[in-house]
Structure 1
Amino acid sequence: MTVHFTMPTSMGRRAVGQRGVSSATEVEELVNAIAELPERSVVIHHAGRPVTGNVFFDDGVDVYDHELVAAVHGDWGYLRMWAVDDGDDTWILAGDPASPTFVSDESEFPEGSGIPLLRLVVALREFLETGRRPLCLNWVAERGD
């Protein structure tokens, strides 16, 4: 899977980077790295899934048929996923009710949608293997207002 992330620069602009993750050990390293990022979240795309092209812009940026946002806030991990072949819904975790709301640059996660970091590692390992929404966790379809 390829992880896309943005980081602020000294000029206030956002630098975009990416990192390949191909082993279970690298998934754990990724979770630790997310916690160190200023925004504490990343967008993840699985290299084994289709790139659908760029429908809206002609800037050469790939558009994937899915997007997984992973975030770390303190001892909590958060996930939000959208995929064309998953009902075209956006899914968030039905996490621990004790987890707080967390707002990152990439996404907002409601109270009760966080999970312990070890479970986040397990879920990201499953995503690495399958390229699909990890079924080792409970999810709820997010409804727009």
Structure 2
Amino acid sequence: MPITAVWPIESPEDANSGDGVTLTEPDEVDGLLARLAEPNAGVATVWHESRELADEDEGMPDHDVCVAVRDGYGYLSYIDVEHDLAVPEGDPAAPALHGGDVEFPEGSGVSLDTLAEALREFLRTARRPEAVTWRALEE
């Protein structure tokens, strides 16, 4: 049950630069997080390949997951048909992160170990991870 992640790369030479990876094994999550920690990596959109599509014609997943790594913190958001948009209850010292499809508020960044655990759980279960405590965001 693979997950796929795609993210933009900030590049003055190529405005449409990006990267991506498909993970099939839990031990591959650390490599994804290392790539997202690179200075020009943007917020990744992640989807689980085994979940139902919300729109077959458009290929739109029934869930939206965003992941980022900045300044030693991991950021994660999750929404699907059963759950409102939410981020983890993170470290109160974690700064806000702006970018991608979601704004991560102050205090929503978690340790990289916690983020890795949550992504491994998502890879394994295709469900919203229980490795973190979630707080709903206003849309």
User: 1:101 Cα shift?
Assistant: 1.1
Aligned amino acid, residue 73 of structure 1: R
- Structure 2 equivalent of residue 3 of structure 1: 5
User: 1:9 Cα shift?
Assistant: 5.1
Counterpart check, 1:81 vs 2:78? yes
**Could you say if the C-alpha distance between residues 37 and 47 of structure 1 is closer, same or farther in structure 2, counting changes exceeding 3 Å?**
farther
Aligned amino acid, residue 74 of structure 2: G
| Contact 2:7 2:42 survives alignment (8 Å) | no
| Contact 2:95 2:107 survives alignment (8 Å) | yes
Cα deviation 1:68-106 (Å, max 9, x = unaligned): 1001111100111111132xx101111111111111234
| Contact 1:4 1:16 survives alignment (8 Å) | yes
- Structure 1 equivalent of residue 24 of structure 2: 22
Distance 2:32 2:20 in 1: 11
> After the TM superposition, which residues 65-76 of structure 1 pair with which residues of structure 2 at under 5 Å, given as runs?
65-76=62-73
User: Please, which runs of 5 or more residues in structure 2 have no aligned partner?
Assistant: none
- Structure 1 equivalent of residue 116 of structure 2: 121
Aligned amino acid, residue 137 of structure 1: V
| Contact 1:40 1:73 survives alignment (8 Å) | no
Counterpart check, 1:142 vs 2:129? no
**What is the RMSD computed on CA atoms of the aligned residues?**
1.9
User: 1:13 Cα shift?
Assistant: 2.7
* Stretch moving more, 20-29 or 30-39: 30-39
Task: Give the 4+ runs in structure 1 shifted more than 4 A.
Answer: 8-12
User: 1:138 Cα shift?
Assistant: 0.4
Number of aligned residue pairs: 137
> After the TM superposition, which residues 39-50 of structure 1 pair with which residues of structure 2 at under 5 Å, given as runs?
39-50=41-52
For residue 9 of structure 2, give the secondary structure of its aligned residue in structure 1. strand
TM-score of the pair, normalised by structure 2: 0.87
TM-score of the pair, normalised by structure 1: 0.84
User: 1:19 Cα shift?
Assistant: 1.4
